[in-house]
């Protein structure tokens, strides 16, 4: 039986990967486990490990790594805790393959562990690139250099990895796995959503707000978040508003949430069950903030996405995405455009460039058919890798 080990430290990466996790979990010839850490085990961030357990996945290990701080130092310390606390369990389980997602500090730790323990690794969502100056971007690329193989979303991402010296045989274009969860999903009605949150009938049309801090904007994160909420409030736009992630600067956003928590236009949430969140998403008039979901997923729902500030800049985006500055007036102009009839109508035939909703099956087939062990030695010289 093939043993596969995945890792998750935050609700967002778990939701991104859950369609593929389900396929691996249901395969009788695969012993699939997950190591859970970080925000999943924090009640301050919704204790989302409960969702993983509810979904029925086998958890190999739970590691409390999250420090009660929002500094860069705390992220580095969390990474060191993760490294020391997971090594023995990974070595004992001795997986045939390790897989991890994205660009947070924990994936760098796991790619190192895979390398030193001679375990093949797959880096998912590799090759992406953001021009916001945030540490996550070089972490993503460093992780790729330490990984055996890569599952990428776009052909552009494949080309970037090859430019970085990766052998084309290591890079597989699968599309974005997170889009699969929208296929055949039947959302709750707006009436059911209002009932779940016990809100009035006036809370019928709404937006989705997801905003996280980045290093270059850390000191102004609260101001930018307040600019978003003020614009929505002045236009009487009802909104479901996510709490921030664990990145440095999140306290500034939490302070603003405290100021607005009694505003009837807003429902603030830490963690929602997947079917509830997806129902809200599918019924939203637009998404605003700086989440990667706006870049990668909103096009599948044919809704406008407003990206505020530096985060996500430089990434490929379909025509439903508007990038705007974090100033009050700029945000207002973008909201007015997002709700305009002409702009909404222009998205009726939009096709998401990030995937067709079948990415999990593509990734699963590659995992089943590829001998990653034979690829583990990275002997290729970047100067000799063909760029074509």
CB-CB contact of 277 with 240 (8 Å): no
Specify whether 142 is located in the same domain as 213: no
Q: Max alpha carbon distance in the chain (Å)?
A: 64
Residue (of 27, 309, 45, 184) closest to 14 by Cα position: 45
247, 116: one domain: no
Q: Is residue 333 part of a domain?
A: yes
Q: pLDDT tens for the chain, 388 residues: list them.
A: 999 999 999 888 898 899 999 999 999 999 999 999 988 988 877 888 999 999 999 999 999 988 877 677 888 898 899 999 999 999 999 999 999 998 889 999 999 999 999 999 999 999 999 887 778 889 999 999 999 999 999 999 999 999 999 999 999 999 999 999 888 789 999 999 999 999 888 898 999 999 998 877 888 899 999 999 999 999 999 999 999 887 777 899 999 999 999 999 999 998 888 899 999 999 999 999 999 999 999 999 999 999 999 998 989 999 999 999 999 999 999 999 999 999 999 999 999 999 989 999 999 999 999 999 999 999 988 888 777 5
CB neighbours (10 Å) of residue 116? Answer: 11
**pLDDT given at position 328:** 97
Q: Angle at the Cα of 218 (from 215 to 223), degrees rounded to 5? A: 150
- The domain in which residue 48 lies consists of 2-181+357-384
Q: Indicate if 158 and 15 belong to the same structural domain.
A: yes
Specify whether 85 is located in the same domain as 165. yes
Residues near 352 by Cβ (< 8 Å), separated by ≥ 6? Answer: 179, 296, 297, 299, 300, 318
Residue 352 lies in a domain: no
Q: Identify whether residues 162 and 99 lie together within a single domain.
A: yes
Distance CA 302, CA 238 (A): 19
Residue 305 in any domain: the answer is: yes
One domain for residues 189 and 177: no
User: Is 240 within a domain?
Assistant: yes
Strands 321-324, 305-308: pairing is parallel
Q: What is the pLDDT of residue 335?
A: 98
Are 7 and 107 in the same domain? yes
Nearest to residue 242, comparing CAs of 190, 283, 207? 207
Q: Are residues 316 and 366 in the same domain?
A: no
Give yes or no: residues 165 and 236 share one domain.
no
Query: Is residue 350 in some structural domain?
Result: no
Q: Are residues 166 and 219 in the same domain?
A: no
Q: How far apart are CA 345 and CA 297, in angstroms?
A: 18
Q: Are residues 193 and 280 both part of a single domain?
A: yes
Task: List all residues 6 or more positions away from 125 whose beta carbon is below 8 Å from its beta carbon.
Answer: 16, 101, 102, 103, 140, 151, 152, 153, 176
Predicted local distance difference test score (pLDDT) of residue 388: 59
Read off the tokens for 342: 């002409």
Put the strands of the sheet holding 206-210 in their side by side order.
266-269, 238-242, 206-210, 287-289, 305-308, 321-324
Comparing C-alpha atoms, which of 133, 132, 123, 118 is closest to residue 161? 123
- What is the C-alpha separation between 278 and 181, in angstroms, rounded? 9
* Position 36 in a domain: yes
Domain of 146, CATH number, reads: 3.40.50.2000
Q: Does 169 map to a domain?
A: yes
Number of domains in the chain: 2
Q: Per the domain annotation, does 9 fall within a domain?
A: yes
Mark whether 128 and 145 lie in a shared domain.
yes
């Amino acid at each position: 039986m093939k043993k596969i080990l995945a890792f998750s430290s935050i609700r967002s990466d778990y939701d991104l990967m859950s369609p593929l996790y389900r396929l691996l979990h249901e395969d009788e010839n695969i012993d699939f486990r997950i190591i859970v850490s970080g925000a999943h085990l924090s009640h301050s961030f919704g204790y989302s490990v409960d969702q993983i357990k509810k979904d029925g996945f086998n958890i190999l290990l739970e590691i409390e790594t999250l420090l009660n701080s929002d500094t860069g130092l705390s992220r580095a310390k969390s990474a060191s805790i993760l490294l020391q606390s997971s090594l023995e369990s990974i070595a004992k389980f001795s997986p045939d393959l390790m897989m991890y997602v994205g660009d947070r500090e924990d994936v760098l730790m796991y790619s190192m562990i895979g390398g030193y323990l001679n375990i093949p690794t797959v880096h998912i969502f590799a090759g992406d690139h953001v021009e916001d100056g945030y540490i996550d971007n070089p972490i993503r690329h460093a992780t790729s250099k330490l990984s055996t193989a890569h599952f990428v979303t776009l052909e552009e991402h494949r080309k970037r990895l090859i430019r970085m010296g990766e052998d084309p045989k290591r890079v597989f274009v699968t599309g974005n796995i997170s889009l699969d969860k929208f296929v055949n999903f039947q959302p709750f009605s707006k009436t059911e959503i209002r009932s779940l949150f016990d809100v009035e009938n006036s809370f019928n049309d709404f937006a989705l707000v997801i905003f996280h801090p980045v290093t270059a904007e850390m000191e102004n994160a609260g101001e930018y978040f307040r600019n978003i909420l003020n614009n929505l409030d002045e236009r009487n736009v009802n909104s479901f508003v996510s709490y921030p992630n664990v990145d440095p600067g999140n306290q500034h956003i939490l302070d603003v949430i405290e100021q607005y928590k009694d505003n009837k236009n807003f429902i603030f949430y830490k963690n929602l069950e997947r079917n509830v969140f997806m129902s809200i998403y599918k019924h939203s008039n637009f998404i605003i903030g700086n989440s990667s979901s706006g870049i990668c997923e909103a096009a599948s729902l044919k809704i406008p996405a407003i990206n505020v500030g530096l985060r996500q800049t430089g990434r490929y985006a379909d025509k439903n995405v508007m990038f705007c500055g974090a100033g009050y007036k700029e945000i207002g102009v973008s909201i007015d455009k997002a709700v305009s009839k002409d702009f909404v109508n222009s998205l009726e035939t939009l096709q998401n460039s990030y995937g067709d909703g079948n990415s999990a099956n593509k990734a699963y087939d590659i995992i089943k058919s590829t001998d990653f062990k034979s690829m583990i030695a990275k002997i290729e010289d970047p100067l000799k890798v063909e760029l074509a």
